[in-house]
Amino acid sequence: MAGKKFDLSGLMQSKVTWAVIAEALILLVCFIIRPDFFSISYQPSTGMLYGSLIDIVNRSAEITIISMGMTLVIALGGTDLSVGALVAVAGAIALKFLRWDVLTYTTPGDYTVYPYILVIAVPLVVCALMGLFNGFLVAKGGIQPIIATLILMVCGRGVAQILTDGKQFTTGYSPFRVIGQGSFLCLPMPIIITIIVVVAVALFTRKTAFGAFVESVGVNPSASRLSGIKAGNVILLVFMITGLLSGIAGLIYSSRIMSNDSNNAGLNFEMDAILAVVIGGTNMAGGRFSLAGTVIGSLIIRTIVTFVYYFGIVAEATMAFKALIIAVVIVLQSEPVRKYFAKRAAMRRAGAKS
């Protein structure tokens, strides 16, 4: 049956469209201020492309990766406040393994004390286990996710500092540098890692039935359980994935600065991740989720930061300005506003009818 009516009001309703419109607007304003905003040039020295757009995607890598996991947690109807702390933990462990014994090697050099595989694997495993701990509290303990993850949020940074005795290690180990600053196919490595992660999570949730299970547990946990879904395992797996992804983000973050700044590593990452997911259109009460929407949400947040930087606002106020624009986007997506637009669209169409 050809000619399915083009459903303008349906499109207006969906939050993702608003996110895309917001992103386009901000980019436009950036373009007006700095015409060379969209220029992309190839920099032979680093063998990478260079330009504000690339910078946005590169800088947003950590948040995008974390928010992939966060999307699933929110789809379950919960939130994960511990991601920021896990980023710090991952960085701390990695640096610990790189410079196990500070005494013998005082100056940072191109060396690693432990095999490189450990430097990468152990932080990821530890973060995954911490995610599992969160999942266990929620699934078996029946504790509200916001409270369960608050525990790791509070003591996660403490663990990171204990591991590094409160000191800040630096390293010069070049393979570790590749993660945050290397390049592949002339794209910065974080972008490559992000693409891999996004594709992997998308495949895992949509190709297997896991995505459907997450959505159904998110909407109605008791009905899903009674339909045979092991709701407990789904929750455990989702929190473990989020932990693992926070670990990956932690590695990228610490590799960018080649050190383990435990105090501010991952500060407020959980807030950014949650906002990215919300702007992306996933409903906070759980149920349908859209990974694509979240990616756009994360890009929006990063674009705003770049925009604020270009706009010449003093660094301290960036957080305020970011909050203001995000607030505007969220209000535009709120239900009453969308209903208002849908009604107006319907009236316009009805006008044509008579």
Partner 1 sequence: MARNDDMNQSKLSAFLESDTFKGLLPFIGLVVILGAMYYLTDGRIMQPKRLRLLLSQVYYPMIVATGVFFVMTLGSIDFTEGSTLGVASIVVSVLSFYNIPLAIIGGILTGAAIGAVNGFFHVKFRLQSFIVTICTMYLFRGVCAYFTTETAIPASAAIKALDSDNLKIGITVAVLIVAFFLFKFTRIGNDVKAVGSGETAAKFSGVRTDKVKFLAFVAAGALTGLAAFVNVIKVGSITSTAGNQLETQILISLVLGGLPITGGAKVRFSNIVVGTLMYTVLNNGLVMLGFESATQQLIKGVVFLIFVALTIDRKALKVIK
Partner 2 sequence: MPGKNILEMRGITIEFPGVKALDGVDFSLREGEIHSLLGENGAGKSTLIKCINGVNRKDSGVILLDGKEINPSGPYDAMQLGISTVFQEVNLCPNLSVAENIFVGRQPMKHNQIDWKEINRRAEELMSRFHLDIDVTRPLSYYSTAIQQMTAIARAVDVQAKILILDEPTSSLDENEVQLLFSVMRELKASGMGIIFITHFLDQIYAVSDRMTILRNGHLVGTYDINELGKVELVTKMVGKDMDVIFSLKRAEVSPDAPIMLKAEHIGDSSRIDDISITLKKGELIGFAGLLGSGRTETAEMLFGASRAVHGEIFVDGQNVSIKTPFDAIKSEIAFCPEDRKRDGIIGDLSIRENIMLAVQSRKGFMHPMTRQEQTELADKYIKLLGIATPDCEKKAGELSGGNQQKVILARWMAASPKVLILDEPTRGIDIGAKAEIQRLMLEMCGEGVSVIFISSELDEIIRCSNRIIIMRDRAKVAEVDGESCTQQDILRIIAEGAA
Considering only the C-alpha atoms of the chain, give the largest distance between any 2 of them, rounded to a whole number of Å.
86
Question: Residue 2, interface with partner 2 (CB under 8 A)?
Answer: yes
Please give the C-alpha separations between residue 121 and each of 6, 94, 244, 286, in angstroms, as whole numbers: 50, 9, 10, 32
Residues 90-119 close enough to bind partner 1 by CB under 8 A: none
Please give the C-alpha separations between residue 198 and each of 66, 78, 163, 231, 330, in angstroms, as whole numbers: 10, 21, 30, 24, 23
Question: Residue 200, interface with partner 1 (CB under 8 A)?
Answer: no
CB 134 within 8 A of CB 254: no
Q: How many residues bind partner 1 (CB under 8 A)?
A: 50
CB 286 within 8 A of CB 76: yes
CB 226 within 8 A of CB 151: no
For partner 1, what does the binding mask look like between residues 158 and 187, x meaning CB under 8 A? xxxxx---x---------------------
Residues 275-314 close enough to bind partner 1 by CB under 8 A: 275, 278, 284-286, 314
Which of partner 1, partner 2, none has residue 5 at its interface (CB below 5 to 8 Å by kind)? Answer: partner 2
Residue 75 or 153: the one with the smaller Cβ distance to partner 2 is 75
Q: Alpha helix (H) ranges present in the chain?
A: 8-13, 15-33, 52-59, 61-75, 83-98, 116-139, 145-163, 174-181, 189-202, 210-219, 221-226, 231-257, 269-279, 291-311, 318-333, 335-353
Q: What minimum distance in Å lies between the beta carbon of 20 and partner 1?
A: 20
Q: How many residues bind partner 2 (CB under 8 A)?
A: 29
Question: Residue 226, interface with partner 1 (CB under 8 A)?
Answer: no
Q: What minimum distance in Å lies between the beta carbon of 234 and partner 2?
A: 8
User: Segment contacting partner 1 (CB under 8 A): 51-59, 118-126, 227-235, 323-331?
Assistant: 323-331
Nearest-CA neighbor of 212 among 296, 287, 307?
A: 287
Q: Which residues contact 312 (CB under 8 A, 6 or more apart)?
A: none
How far is residue 274's CA from residue 250's CA, in Å, rounded to a whole number?
17
Nearest-CA neighbor of 324 among 26, 16, 54, 35?
A: 26
Question: Residue 227, interface with partner 2 (CB under 8 A)?
Answer: yes
- For residue 42, give the H/E element and its range: strand 41-43
How far is residue 94's CA from residue 280's CA, in Å, rounded to a whole number?
32
Q: What minimum distance in Å lies between the beta carbon of 267 and partner 2?
A: 34
Which of partner 2, partner 1, none has residue 334 at its interface (CB below 5 to 8 Å by kind)? Answer: partner 1
Number of neighbouring beta carbons within 10 Å of residue 161: 18
Residues 194-223 close enough to bind partner 2 by CB under 8 A: 207-210, 212-213, 215-216, 219-220, 222-223
How far is residue 240's CA from residue 323's CA, in Å, rounded to a whole number?
29
Dihedral sign of CA atoms 277, 283, 284, 286 in order: negative
Q: What minimum distance in Å lies between the beta carbon of 314 and partner 1?
A: 7
- Considering only 140, 288, 343, 344, the residue that binds partner 2 (CB under 8 A) is 288
Q: What minimum distance in Å lies between the beta carbon of 215 and partner 2?
A: 6
- Considering only 8, 28, 29, 147, the residue that binds partner 1 (CB under 8 A) is 147
Residue 146 or 223: the one with the smaller Cβ distance to partner 2 is 223
Question: Residue 209, interface with partner 1 (CB under 8 A)?
Answer: no
Residue 81 or 295: the one with the smaller Cβ distance to partner 1 is 81
- Residues of the shown chain interacting with partner 1 in the complex, contacts defined by CB under 8 A: 77, 79, 137, 141-144, 146-148, 150-162, 166, 268, 271, 274-275, 278, 284-286, 314, 316-324, 326-327, 330-331, 334-337
**Could you list the residues that contact partner 2 (CB under 8 A)?**
1-3, 5-6, 207-210, 212-213, 215-216, 219-220, 222-230, 287-288, 350, 352-353
